[in-house]
Amino acid sequence: MTWDSLYRTNQQVWGDKPSELATFACNYLQGIKPPSKAIDILDLGCGYGRDAMYLARNIKCQVFGIDDSSEAIEMAQKSLADDLKLCVKFQCGDFRQMNNGKFDIVFTSNVYHLLKSDDRNAFRNTIDKNVKPGGMLFFSTLSLSDPEHFGKGKRIENEDNSFEDKVFIHFCTREEMERDFSFLTIKELFEYEFYESRSNGEIHHHILWMFMGVKRQDL
Ligand SMILES: C[S@@+](CC[C@H](N)C(=O)[O-])C[C@H]1O[C@@H](n2cnc3c(N)ncnc32)[C@H](O)[C@@H]1O
């Protein structure tokens, strides 16, 4: 099933509440000294925009969301309230099209585990190119401990901790994240367990990594 057909069939598949990462990011940002001007946030793989809109409602910011599902972007644009239209923008496109933007924050929830090795490298490059030195990354991805999907389906050869059941999923270890995100200083990295209600009535049990890092200024 493609993302377009998933969104067409299930509409707001994870509901209209923010993701676990958006709640974490919002609490974190509300707990630090407020910036003098609105911060720029890039939401990579923003889906139908639930997190972009939540961040814009709760933090003094402008959010740019990009997703390559036209169905998701159409849903995001339709549900964008009038008072958010100046500070939230959505674009349909591949994350690779993001070229050297200088964002205060890159935010990306539940996208990385869907990517194969080359795409994960490209994704990290996109993050590196788009977050300012001293800027932050808020990131979530499935852990090896995920009870819903880990070990299900066909193990992918030459790809550690990756399986293909209905879709390809890569599961991260702490060591892998520390190694592959060394352009950031890790401030928070912890596993988070939750039950996710879906619009089709299913409930999924997940454990994911929640990660917050600050772009190193010495590289
Ligand atoms: C599991 S969904 C998460 C959506 C959103 N972050 C959320 O939590 O509501 C993953 C999203 O990544 C998007 N995606 C996958 N590959 C992409 C790519 N190469 N460029 C942009 N978006 C991509 C998909 O279209 C999908 O909307």
CA 218 to centroid of ligand 1, rounded, Å: 31
pTM summary value? 0.97
Cβ contact 49:90 at 8 Å: yes
Percent of the chain with pLDDT over 90: 93
Quick one: pLDDT band at residue 10, thresholds 50, 70, 90? confident
Strands, DSSP E only, in 59-183?
61-67, 88-92, 103-109, 131-142, 154-155, 162-164, 168-170
Closest residue by Cα to atom 26, ligand 1, is: 47
* Domain of 45, in residue numbers: 3-215
Q: What is the pLDDT of residue 22?
A: 98
Ligand 1 atom with the shortest distance to the CA of 48: 9
Cβ contact 171:207 at 8 Å: no
Number of domain units in the chain = 1
Q: What is the pLDDT of residue 100?
A: 81
Q: What is the pLDDT of residue 101?
A: 84
- With a Cβ cut-off of 6 Å, ligand 1 is lined by 3, 14, 19, 45-47, 50-51, 66-69, 72, 94-95, 109-111, 114
**Average pLDDT in the 148-172 region?**
95
Q: What is the pLDDT of residue 218?
A: 81
For the segment 128-145, what is each residue's pLDDT rounded down to a tens digit?
Answer: 999 999 999 999 999 999
For the segment 51-103, what is each residue's pLDDT rounded down to a tens digit?
Answer: 999 999 999 999 999 999 999 999 999 999 999 999 999 999 999 999 888 99
Distance CA 86, CA 55 (A): 14
For the segment 18-48, what is each residue's pLDDT rounded down to a tens digit?
Answer: 999 999 999 999 999 888 899 999 999 999 9
Q: For residue 15, what are the CA distances in angstroms to 11, 75, 154?
A: 9, 12, 29
Q: Look at residue 109 and tell me whether its pLDDT is greater than 90.
A: yes
Region label for 61, one of left (φ > 0), alpha (ψ between -120 and 50) or beta (otherwise): beta
CA 168 to centroid of ligand 1, rounded, Å: 13
Closest residue by Cα to atom 25, ligand 1, is: 69
CA 113 to centroid of ligand 1, rounded, Å: 10
Q: Look at residue 219 and tell me whether its pLDDT is greater than 80.
A: no
Find the CATH number of the domain harbouring 173: 3.40.50.150
| Strand arrangement, sheet containing 184-197 | 88-92, 61-67, 39-44, 103-109, 131-142, 203-215, 184-197
